[in-house]
Each structure stands twice: as structure tokens, then as C-alpha cells.
Structure 1
């Protein structure tokens, strides 16, 4: 049986003693003294941390906040500059949503984020989780902040047998039952820290858990088996051709359409991506310009919903309509195209 008040007291004491030092976080002592986190920094960090680890996101966060220290600064920037700065974080729809939200805050709210969950939820591209997180962490509102870490903690505490994703509703209900008006921002971050550092997906450190006495999963002897997960559906596979056109030390890039996968990002020209492979004749016919194209290998890449094989063709030439970019400047490409460019150019001086 979980005693909610005792569990909360123990977890908050643990958080007070050892909260993670994160670039966007106001520590528990400062928070209790009335210092609040900057909503812009909380929002930016939460968007970056979707599908991304803290160590990977932190340098991007520092770069963004140095270049665009306020939401007004970000809102005024050109799309291409923000998309280029985002390159390497993946899930590029997040960057487009980031700009849409920043511009709505600047245009409709005078550069000030709404201080309620409902007001935040009304912003474009800002979903239920992020609205709850910003409301709790930046404004100390008693919202129910449930990410993957919190789902894992709840599933183990209560030994929930219903598999994900169907079990998410029950896990959210259980998490909500532990939310109080007292220190809601610290509570949300304490749960996240517990899931990230102790109640880990694999090899949980149960001997270091401040609330292990309440954990039904641990009592059953197999806490690491929670949350239960439904069998994975096989990821579909697609095939395409990437074209690496060089002009001296420059490479021809394009800007992908604003909508869809990798929308608005710089990219290598490619064929369509389809289930069946591309033979030599088809690959040449789909090339962006006529040139002496030669095969230089292939690369594999895995997206969230499908995997991809890209055949690589390279040629020397010159043509209008491309964004000619020095080879040293290709780091702004999304990872799939950076991988393809590096492989296709690897034998050039």
C-alpha cells in the first residue's frame, strides 16, 4: 500500500539533497525561496528533450540560449537559421513547432508565456505534456507531468500489468493522484530525476531508491520488467537514392519542402523513398541533373517509423538551382544526409 504523503515527503527530501544540476533548472533551494525558472528556458529544454537525452540536448540548449536569449529573439530569427542550428537533434517537426510557438508568444502575448496549463496548451505546437511541464516547473502550478520516466516509476510502484501504450491512461491517473499544491514544480522534477537516475529502464538501482519500500514491482522481485510493453510491430523499410554533386570543394544541396519529414531542412537531392529498390537505370533517370553519375556505396538510417537504405551516386558538375555549400559546412545537415555525404565523399581529398 502506497502512503502518498510519506512517499512525497521521502522523494522530495531525496530531490532536495541531490537534484541534478541542469542548465535550464532552478534548484530546489532557490525554488523554495521564490526563484522561478524562466518559462522560455523550461519550454525550450522540454522541446529539445523529446526523444533526446540530457547529455545530447544540453550543448544545443546552451547554443540556442546564447544566440537567442529570449523568446522574442528566437521568434525574430529566419527559419533556415533555426533549422540549421537544430541539425543533429532529429525529429525536425519539433524545430518548426518551436518557431511557430515562439512567434505566437511574441505576436499574441507580448513575449510573455501564459502562466496556466490551458493557456500554454493553446499555443501552436505545444502539446499536453509540455504544457503541463512548463506550467508546473516555471509557474509552480499543480499539473500532472507525465513523461516516459514518470510512466516507468508509476508502473513499478504499482506493478501495473496493462501493457503500453494502452496502460498510459492508468499510469497518468496514478501519477495525478500524487500531485499536490505543495511544490508541484519540484515534485515533477523529482519524479523525472528518479526515473532518469535510479528507476532506470535497465538495471534499476533499487538499493538507492528513496521510495523502494512502496514499490510493488520490487516486492514482486522483477521491477525491471515494468512497464509491460506490447509486442513491437515490424518497422517498414524504404529505399532511395541520394545524389552527391560536387563542384570543387562544394556540394550541391537543396531545401526540402516546408511540410513533411525533415521539412525545411537542407538536404542532398534524393529520389523518392519507396518500398522496392532502385535499379541503375531508374536511379540515373531520377537524378537531379545529367552528369556522369557513379555509384559510391550506400548508407542505412533508422527513423521512428521506418528504416531507410540510400544508394549513393556522385558526380562532378555545375548547375543552377542548388545551394552550393563548402564540404566543411555540411555539419548543419540532418543526420541521414550528413551520414550519406560523409560516406559518399570519403575517398575524395
Structure 2
């Protein structure tokens, strides 16, 4: 076991990806990158990270950012509560820590949106604190390395693997050690298929490989079935603009903007009636393709209509948004991506 950290760090030094939050590795940049990478692939997050850093390069900038601007910077990245918690945490850092991100795990976990993993990553990478940072990649590596067949979604199993990984952490390079484990899980000890054992620096120490069971771990309980909801998306357009309304301040996709959204899969007559209730005179609705969006716990099954309407003032709680406003002002969640493509052709 004593040879695991040296072998892992040698591999990391030679194979680590060049990433912007590693090239310029301030605590703020590490923090934002770790939040963005929750539930998001690195390749998908990188353009958002670069844009976010250009717009909000400091904790103070993030703390003072208007909500609409923050939502727009995060548009399409999903899990929007991450952005809201980032800002709440930034405001707390400004108010209670003088604008400087705290260096210890015990203080970091007091900030909104920062749990044990994120706190461990920030503290070890940015401040050299010898603490673990165990995410899904690290759990996968550890369960294979030690051939642990416990359910990794269980707290006691996660705790056991975390202690084992932490016991081998070199005090002089705790951040690199944590990142090396994450990198190994992302590039070699991969999910969703057989690991690339021939490229693994820990192959000779891996108990799962020795037993020929590397594809049988980690063990996870079967996920609960997602709930489904049916919706009808109405693209009401007039004079080169589409009608949007803002979602409630709390709950799913809180505070973001959406087209007219009707519960269930409804017909043309119901769409026309709904627009009439908003004071809009509609032409015959044009059916659009169906679309599906998957959240972590929920699936939306959507039908849609494009409906030209007579120009009128926006109904209460709604706005008319032209192409420039859609691109630069109003944050429309990725759940409506298929319908956004329709709007690009008609606005």
C-alpha cells in the first residue's frame, strides 16, 4: 500500500489534463470549477467556466452580480441551484470572511452549496490541507483497488473507503493526490464499461483486477424510477418576439424564463383558449415535434405548438423577447432546447 501514492503521483504528473482551473489555480477558480463539475462532464463545463471567469473574476464580482446576469451565465448548464448557492456563498464570504475564501474544511462546509467533497477539494488543492476529497470517480477507484463490494451509495461504505484512501494521502502533496485519484477515475478506471487496466499505474496493487472482478465493482443500489410529467410548450410569437414568463422563485428551474407552458398534452383548441385567457388573438397553432428532458429525479415529456398571435402588450407576468433578448438577457433552461431551435428559425 505504501507504493500506491508515489505510483499514482508519477502517473498524474505525466498524464494530467491541462485545464484552466489548474493552469491558474486560485481558491476561487478551484471552487467555481468544482461546483460546475458536479453532475457535469469536464468538456461541457469548460466553456461555461471560461465565460464565468471573464464576467465574474473575483468573489466580490460574484457576490454583487445581478440575478438575471448570473442565470444567463449559467444558462444551459443545468442544476441551477448550484449558481444560486455559489452566489449566496460568495455573499457570505464577503460579509463574514473579508472576501477571502476560508482555507479549512470546517469553515468551508458552512458555506451554501459546499459539502464534504467540495470542501476537501478546495482545502487540499488550494491550501494544502491533508484532507480527503472523495467523489464518484474516487469511490470507483477505491472500490476496485480494495475489491470492496459494499454499496457505495451507503454512508458507511463511503466512510470506509474514504478512510482507506485518506490513510495513503502524502502530507506534502494532498491536493495533487486527490486530483490524481479523480483523474484516474475519469481517464482510466472509467465508468460505464471495462476499465483501461493496461494503462493503470495501480494495476499491480488492484485487488479487483487480481481477482478478475474489475467490472463487478463498484456496487450500487438500483436507482429509483423517475417520475414523469407531460407538458405542452406554446411558442406564441408576434413581431419577431416570443412570449415568455418567469418561473416561481423557488423549486425546479427557479426564477428562469420559459415559453407558455400548459400541463398535460393538450390539443389546438385548448392552446387557443389558453392564449385567449391571456388576452391574445391566435392564429391556428402549428404542431411541433415532441421532446423529452431528463432531470435527476424527473422526466418531462413535451409536445409543442408554434402559434402566431396578433401584436399586443405582454400579459401580466410575461415579456416579449426578441432574438437579441433571448441570446443576451433572458435565461431559458436547456429543458426547452428543442423548441429554442424552432425559435432561431422564426425570430
User: In the alignment, which of 301, 308, 328 is matched to residue 309 of structure 1?
Assistant: 301
> Structure 2 vs 1, CA of residues 231 and 187 (structure 1 numbering), >3 Å: closer, same or farther?
same
User: In the alignment, which of 146, 163, 168 is matched to residue 158 of structure 1?
Assistant: 146
The whole-number CA distance in structure 1 between the counterparts of 2:26 and 2:340 is: 39
Q: Matched residue of 1:24: which SS? A: helix
- Counterparts of 1:1-349 in structure 2, within 5 Å, are 3=1, 5-26=2-23, 37-166=25-154, 167-201=157-191, 202-272=193-263, 277-278=265-266, 286-287=274-275, 289=278, 290-292=280-282, 294-297=285-288, 298-315=290-307, 316-317=309-310, 318-320=312-314, 321=316, 322-327=318-323, 329-331=325-327, 332-343=331-342, 345=343, 348=346
Deviation at 1:284, TM superposition (A): 5.1
Q: Matched residue of 1:224: which SS? A: coil
Q: Matched residue of 1:337: which SS? A: helix
Deviation at 1:248, TM superposition (A): 1.6
Runs of 4 or more, structure 1, over 4 Å off, are 276-288
The whole-number CA distance in structure 1 between the counterparts of 2:293 and 2:78 is: 12
> Structure 2 vs 1, CA of residues 125 and 347 (structure 1 numbering), >3 Å: closer, same or farther?
closer
The whole-number CA distance in structure 2 between the counterparts of 1:347 and 1:66 is: 30
> Structure 2 vs 1, CA of residues 163 and 188 (structure 1 numbering), >3 Å: closer, same or farther?
same
For normalisation by structure 1, the TM-score amounts to 0.88
Q: Which moved more, 1:321-330 or 1:87-96?
A: 321-330
The whole-number CA distance in structure 2 between the counterparts of 1:323 and 1:109 is: 39
- Which whole-Å deviations, capped at 9, do the CAs of 1:91-133 have from their partners, x for residues lacking one? 1111111111111112222210011101111112222211111
Q: Which moved more, 1:287-296 or 1:192-201?
A: 287-296
User: 1:31: which partner in 2?
Assistant: none
- Which whole-Å deviations, capped at 9, do the CAs of 1:63-100 have from their partners, x for residues lacking one? 11111111111111101101111011111111111111
- Which whole-Å deviations, capped at 9, do the CAs of 1:141-164 have from their partners, x for residues lacking one? 011100111011001101111223
What is the number of residues matched between the two proteins? Answer: 333
Q: Matched residue of 2:43: which SS? A: helix
Deviation at 1:295, TM superposition (A): 4.6
The whole-number CA distance in structure 2 between the counterparts of 1:165 and 1:172 is: 13
The whole-number CA distance in structure 2 between the counterparts of 1:323 and 1:348 is: 18
Deviation at 1:39, TM superposition (A): 0.7
Q: Any gaps of 5 or more consecutive residues in structure 2?
A: none
Q: Any gaps of 5 or more consecutive residues in structure 1?
A: 28-36
Q: Matched residue of 1:270: which SS? A: strand
User: 1:33: which partner in 2?
Assistant: none
For normalisation by structure 2, the TM-score amounts to 0.89
Q: CA RMSD in A?
A: 2.2
